[in-house]
Amino acid sequence: MPENTVPRGYRLQGRVLDGTVSAARERATVVTEGDTIAWVGDTFALPAEFQSHAYTLVDLPGRTIMPGLVDGHTHISFGEARSEEELALYTPVEFRALKAVWNAKKVLQAGVTSAFDAATTYNVAQSVRDAIDSGMFEGPRFAVSGRQLTSHQGLEDSFPSEMQFPPGQAGVLVKSRDEIVEQIRLQVKDGVDAIKVSGSNDSLVSSDAIDGSAFTFDEYRLIADESHRLGRLCTVHARTRDAVRDAAKAGFDVIFHASFIDDEGIAWCLRNGCVIVPTLPLLVNVIEATGGPGATPMNAVFQTEVDAAMRNLPRAYRAGVPLVQGSESGWSPIPYGHWHAREMEIFVRHFGLSPLEAIHAGTLGAARLFKRFGDRIGKVEAGRFADLLVVNGAPDRDVTLLQKPQHFDFIFKGGRPVDRTPPAPRRQMGFERHKMFLNGVYRYDADRGVGQLVR
C-alpha cells in the first residue's frame, strides 16, 4: 500500500467464533469496511474484491477472531466507590463525569465494546454515553439507565430516615403511583435507554435482603407498562424470590441478580421473555478479598446468596431462561478494566455452561439489552459493527483467556484498532474518599499492657 494511504478496511484471518453457540470456523476471514463487517466466511471462498492491498491483512496463526465483549451490568459513574456512603456523599458531580470518561477507556481496553449501565448518579451515564458517541472520548457503546426508582424498602434508600435523601445517590425515592409515572417520564425526557427499579434490598446493605419486595405487583406492572409505552427497556434489581416473581409477572425485560428465584419466578420469566443478568463477580470478589466465606459475619451472608444463585440460576437456564454476563464494575471490588469477563468463568465453572454458551452470554446473547443498536453488535456477521477481538488462543476451550486483555492482539471498535496505551496514573483527590481515623476500635489490652486493633 502506498505511504500515507488510508486502508479501506482490514482482512483478518484466523479461527472465527461468531457469538452464537456454533463451533469455530478454523480457517476463516473477516473483512471490515469503515465501521462495519463487510464479509465473513471460509478463507478459500474470499471474494476477489476483498483480496486487494486496500485491505490491511492481519494474519496471526493460532488466534481467534470473535465479537467484542458485552458487559451487561456496569456503573460508569460510581468511580470505584467503597461504600454506599462514599458513592452518595463524596465527589462533586462535575468531577464524577470527568472521572467517568477517563474510566470508560479502561473498560474498552479490556475488550468490552458495548456495556449496559445499570444505574447512574445524577445524569453522568447519559453524558458519558453521548460524549463517546459524539467522538469526544474513547469508550464502549453504552446503553444507560437513570437513577433507579426505589421505595423505602429498596436498595437505594439505605440512609437514616431523619436525613434528606442524598442527591448523589444512584436512586430516586418514589412515594406514590403519580411519582412513579412522573419519574419515568422525566428520565425518558433526560435521554435514558432503560428504566431501572430497585425491587429488593441488597445483602451488602441489609441482612434482610433475602426476603420481600420493595414494590407491589400492581406497582411493578405500572412501571413496566409506562416504560414500554415510552419505548424503553424495563429492568429491576431483584435478589429475592418475591421481587423476581412479581417483576417477571409484570413483564420486566431484564432481571438483575435473581439469586433466590423459585419455580414460579422461572415460569413467569419464560412466559414473558425475561432475561437474567446474575452479576455475581461483586459478591464473589468481596468474599475472596476478605478471607473467604467464614472470615466475617457479612461474608457468611454473601455466601448464602452465592450458594442460592448457584443452585437456582442453573435451573432457570436449563429451563430456558436466557443468561447475560455482567460485572458490576464501578464498585471498588470490581475496578474498571479488570473483571469484565469473570461471570463467563462462573457460568462455566459453577453453572455448567459450555465455554461457547458462556461466550454467547457475553456477546450475542447480551445484545438484547441494547434497543438502539442491539441488532448491530454481538455477532461476527456482515452488516454489523466491526467490534471485534483478536485473541491469542481458543477461548471456546478456555474462557478465562477473556480475562487477560493484555494477551489480545487487537481490539477493534467500529473497524478501528483501539489505542491500548493505558491511561496515565492519576492522583486521588481528598474529596473522593470518606475519612476514618481507623477501620476498627483500638482497645487497651490490660493483661498485655498494649493496644489492640479490633475490627
Res. 211: pLDDT tops 80: no
Mean pLDDT of 434-443: 83
Convert the pLDDT of each residue in 305-316 to its tens digit.
Answer: 999 999 999 999
CATH of domain 69-340: 3.20.20.140
Q: Which residue shows C-alpha cell 470456523? A: 25
Alpha carbons 123 and 96: distance in angstroms, whole number = 10
Q: Is there a contact between 294 and 302 (Cβ–Cβ < 8 Å)?
A: no
Taking the CA atoms of the chain, what radius of gyration do you get in angstroms?
23
What sign results for the dihedral spanned by CA atoms 384, 390, 395, 397? positive
Mean pLDDT of 304-327: 97
Res. 300: pLDDT tops 60: yes
- For the chain, domain boundaries: 69-340
What sign results for the dihedral spanned by CA atoms 324, 209, 198, 83? negative
Q: Is there a contact between 64 and 396 (Cβ–Cβ < 8 Å)?
A: yes
Residue type, 247: A
| Displacement of CA 161 from its chain's centroid (Å) | 31
Confidence grade of residue 207 (pLDDT, cut at 50, 70, 90): low
Convert the pLDDT of each residue in 51-85 to its tens digit.
Answer: 988 999 999 899 999 999 999 999 999 999 998 88
Helix (H) or strand (E) holding 275: strand 275-277
Q: How many CB atoms lie within 10 A of CB 209?
A: 22
Distances (CA, A) of 328 to 29, 175, 332, 434: 34, 27, 10, 21
| 180 contacts: CB under 8 Å, gap ≥ 6 | 149, 174, 219, 222, 223, 226
Instruction: Identify each DSSP E strand in 146-193 by its residue range.
Output: 148-150, 171-173
Q: Which residue shows C-alpha cell 423476581? A: 244
User: Could you tell me the three cell numbers for 278?
Assistant: 446474575
Q: How many CB atoms lie within 10 A of CB 27?
A: 11
Res. 366: pLDDT tops 80: yes
